[in-house]
Amino acid sequence: MKAKKIIVMILILASAAIVGVVAGSSDERTTGDKMASDIRSEELATLAGGCFWCLESDLEKIPGVLKVVSGYSGGDLDRPTYEEVSSGTSGHREVVQVHFDPSRLSYEDLLGYYWRIFDPTDDGGSFNDRGEQYTSAIYYHNEEQRRIAERTRDELDSSGKFNKSVVTPIIPFEKFWPAEEYHQDYYRKNPTRYWFYRSMSGRNGFIEKNWGDIHKNEKSTAGDTDGMQSGYDIPSDEELQRTLTELQYEVIREEGTEPAFNNEYWDEKRKGIYVDRVSGEVLFSSREKYESGTGWPSFYKPLESDNIVEKTDRKLFMVRTEVRSRHADSHLGHVFDDGPQPTGLRYCINSASLRFVPLEELEQEGYGEYLKHFD
């Protein structure tokens, strides 16, 4: 009987193992099917309409758009640089490649937005940016995209919306080269310079005159109202949780404190500026940074005091003055009255809330106006 019981137990265990394998195979098939479904749920559109910073900013606000990458298409050079393209000699256009979910956003609806964010009657450039590299174009990826692009272009042309003909060419897609990293999400990284450029370019006036608020129903409500009105596009808390480290989020949104002497910038000695990690607004400079011995970055005054907000902090059974950024509302740290002259103040700031921009990168990052601070 004992032998029989042992055999039965072995059979039971073997059956369980087989069931597990079959179930695992089923799970793998399900996962594979899901992955295939996920792959099918993303399509590409490659569009030109002048400055790719502006196209990226507008198109990323559309529900159903997964991401937008700035880059270059057309031309004969492989892997062109921004300098080569902007010179107008390479034959490339500034473009964006839009990754979108066709179950949420059709290609036709995407083009419905696209036609409204540039002047499709301009064959010499786009607003203040002149030259072929800034002209508009639709690079279609398949025949269906070609038919939709041609039909929507013809409908716009015959609508009487403009006094001139729509001249945007529709071209077969061949190659796409992503632009340099500092161009990606430029409107987020350099909001001050971006909004200055955009407001001066004539694009905003053209859109408002002809179409009104094209993102009236889709505009992000992330961040505070002051930040939005000032041109800072503040990511939602959900997005920040995805893009920030656990410590950065804890400090910035939960008023946490990073470890002393074990953070990114406490001993940073290079020349440059410190901007808000979320919004990019300018906060402090290396010229006003000093060694306080506390283990955190310390400054005796801000570089841009208008971007600093002070609040009374009564946590930890004491009264302190908290320091926050105005537009992103990031918790930065605290200010104390034990600093050096000429102010006598010590802005004790968490590295997690800051992003350092070295002196040699100020121009390309959009902070060129601060070079004079280091003369």
Q: How many CB atoms lie within 10 A of CB 128?
A: 13
Instruction: Name every residue whose Cβ is closer than 8 Å to that of residue 103 and which is 6 or more positions away in sequence.
Output: 41
- Greatest CA separation for the chain: 97
Report which residue type is found at 130: R
Cα(279)–Cα(265) distance, rounded to whole angstroms? 18
Compute CA distances 213 → 62, 111, 159, 202, 316, whole Å: 13, 16, 20, 15, 46
Tokens of 40: 């099918």
Compute CA distances 294 → 82, 259, 290, 349, 350, whole Å: 43, 10, 11, 11, 11
Tokens of 222: 């992330």
From the list 292, 298, 271, 251, the residue with the least C-alpha distance to 356 is 271
CA 216, 220, 223 angle in degrees (round to 5)?
135
Say which of 51, 111, 117, 137 is annotated catalytic.
Answer: 51
Alpha helix segments (H runs only) across the chain: 2-40, 52-59, 82-86, 107-114, 143-158, 186-189, 191-201, 203-211, 225-229, 237-243, 246-254, 362-365
Instruction: Name every residue whose Cβ is closer than 8 Å to that of residue 104 and which is 6 or more positions away in sequence.
Output: 63, 64
Say which of 348, 349, 354, 362 is annotated catalytic.
Answer: 348
Cα(170)–Cα(149) distance, rounded to whole angstroms? 7
Query: What are the phi and psi torsion angles at 126 (to 5°)?
Result: -150, 110
Contact predicate 245/277, CB 8 Å: no
51 catalytic per annotation: yes
Active-site annotation, residues: 51, 348
